[in-house]
Amino acid sequence: MIDTKQRNTDGEDVHGGVGLTALLVAAARAIETHRDDSLARDVYAEHFVRAAPACAGWPVHPHEIPDGDANPLWGRFARYFGLRTRVLDDFLLRSVRAAGARQVVLLGAGLDTRAFRLDWPAGCVVHEIDRAGVLAFKHQVLGALSATPKATRVPIPFDLRDDWAGALTGAGFDPAAPSVWLAEGLLFYLPADDETRLIDTVHRLTTAGSALAFEVKLEKDLLAYRDSPLYTATHQQIGIDLLTLFDRRPRPDSAGSLADRGWSTSVYTPFDFTRRHGRGPLPEPNDALAGNRWVFADRPRP
């Protein structure tokens, strides 16, 4: 376990540090929601943006972006988040229906509103694990909207850098029953040892018929993309320097680790899904998305 006294606590809520990136994703989802060719709809996303003073003036609609999709941040990067939302929405619903799983765990849930906006099968329980400040902000905004979840929602205010497994099982999660897990936009920020510990914990808490999706970056040197339009636009337009938030040390092979333990894994680039859906980012020179991979893993039944 990490010594919390030595931990950098910057961004424990949504108003700074890593927490502010949750608002960036919310703004991207709001913009995607209002596109004529939207891949995913999140009617709650713009309310998070408008409720946080830290993102006053951020766009939540395509017509608020003067240069439209030519803007590296609110065009290309926002489209990336819209595509990611759609792909992972599809993964979750497909997995719970195929496996008959009724337990869903969102690791680093942030401002995820899937418990409220997806059509879950009857009996689904969605566990949301994130820091208390992030979940409190989400509760405040959704409460003001009288939003009603479409599944049983169990918020678990806990830091994923700590021993969160006990908090999850204490909240009613049953490791003996199939489950579906999602770590969206999380592992970038964790030290390698914490990523390995998280993947090991998911393996320990799952049984046959379970599934997991997560996102990783494969670049050996993230600073090689220091002047990427995506990174520079994000820093210049909203003051978020992603490269100071990402953990830049060598990453573990989490997909390979799961495969070694009997999971069936598939690894894709975001561009694979751009081509599948007909919209989203495609490769470009000096591309900060070049190393992004979306990993899907299933724990097969005997």
Nearest to 126 by CA among 140, 114, 142, 135: 114
Confidence of residue 12 (pLDDT cuts 50, 70, 90): low
Distance CA 161, CA 108 (A): 10
Digit-coded pLDDT (tens) for 20-55: 999 999 999 999 999 999 999 999 999 999 999 999
pLDDT of residue 5 exceeding 70: no
Specify the fold of 83-225+249-298: Rossmann fold (3.40.50)
pLDDT value, residue 1: 28
> Where exactly are the structural domains of the chain?
83-225+249-298
Q: Which pairs with CB-CB distance under 8 Å and at least 24 residues apart come from 275-284? A: 277/39, 277/83, 277/86, 279/37, 279/39, 279/79, 279/83, 280/39, 280/79, 280/80, 280/82, 280/83, 281/76, 281/77, 281/79, 281/80, 281/83
Q: For residue 61, give every residue at least 6 positions away whose Cβ sits within 8 Å of its Cβ, in sequence order, or none.
A: 30, 31, 34, 46
What secondary structure does DSSP assign to 9-54, as a single string?
-TTSSTTSHHHHHHHHHHHHHHHHHTSTT-S---TTHHHHHHH-GG
CA within 13 Å, CB half, 244:
12
pLDDT value, residue 144: 98
Token pair for 233: 């636009």
DSSP 250: P
pLDDT of residue 185 exceeding 50: yes
pLDDT value, residue 130: 96
- Of 1-10, 18-27, 47-56, 128-137, which range is least confident? 1-10
Question: What is the three-class DSSP state of 174?
Answer: coil
pLDDT value, residue 9: 38
pLDDT value, residue 4: 31
